[in-house]
């Protein structure tokens, strides 16, 4: 049985979710969201790293191309390379900021594969700790996040390796 979890930032997101048209990744990529509300941790030339609004654990990042692309095979070589480099940077920043014991990295391609956003490819980078629940039960149960997303964003920006 799931336990209730108080997360006030989620209600604000849910209430505003229908107000926006288009892709959340594209809005962030186009700088349409005020800096104080943006969850972008780092922006590259063709891709960026952004915090997940519905994280599996503190520090859960997603790395996505700036360009709207729904298929992994549709990425350019430059985008694929920068996505990889940002993923490596995410591992380093998360390691410095949180000291996790491991990581899950994964692509959810298609709704049946678990993709919540199917039309803009993105790679999940999820920090993991010994003793936490495994990936699937987190989807069906409750995970307590001890830090607000904006505080996490600032921590990871500070910990991100220099380029």
CA distance 5 to 46: 37
For the domain with range 20-145, which CATH number is right: 3.40.50.920, 3.50.50.60, 3.40.50.11900, 3.30.428.10? 3.30.428.10
Q: How does DSSP classify residue 29?
A: H
Res. 151: pLDDT tops 60: yes
Choose the catalytic residue: 60, 120, 122, 124: 122
pLDDT for the residue numbered 59 = 93
Question: What percentage of the chain's residues is helix, strand, coil (to nearest 5)?
Answer: 35, 15, 45
The yes-or-no answer on residue 122 being catalytic is yes
pLDDT (0 to 100) of residue 136: 46
pLDDT of 163 = 62
Name the pLDDT band for 116 (thresholds 50, 70, 90).
confident
CB 90 within 8 A of CB 76: no
pLDDT, tens digit (0-9, with 9 covering 90-100), for 14-63: 455 445 467 989 999 998 899 999 999 999 999 999 999 888 888 999 99
Average pLDDT on 68-84 reads 97
- Of all residues in the chain, the percent with pLDDT exceeding 90 is 52
pTM: 0.77
Q: Going by C-beta distance under 8 Å and a sequence separation of 6 or more, which residues neighbour residue 12?
A: none
Burial 1-25 (b: 16+ CB within 10 A, else e): eeeeeeeeeeeeeeeeeeeeeebbb
């Amino acid at each position: 049985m799931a336990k209730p979890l108080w997360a006030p930032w989620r209600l604000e997101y849910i209430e505003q979710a229908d107000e926006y048209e288009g892709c959340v990744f594209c809005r962030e990529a186009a700088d349409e969201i005020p800096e104080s509300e943006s969850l972008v941790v780092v922006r590259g030339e063709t891709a960026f790293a952004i915090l997940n609004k519905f994280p599996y654990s503190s520090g859960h990042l997603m790395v996505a191309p700036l360009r709207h692309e729904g298929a992994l095979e549709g990425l350019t070589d430059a985008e694929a390379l920068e996505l990889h480099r940002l993923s490596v940077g995410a591992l380093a920043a998360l390691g410095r900021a949180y000291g996790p014991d491991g990581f899950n990295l994964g692509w959810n391609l298609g709704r049946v594969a678990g993709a919540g956003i199917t039309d803009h490819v993105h790679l999940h980078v999820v920090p993991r700790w010994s003793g936490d629940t495994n990936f699937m039960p987190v989807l069906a149960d409750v995970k307590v996040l001890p830090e607000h997303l904006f505080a996490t964003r600032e921590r990871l920006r500070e910990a991100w390796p220099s380029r």
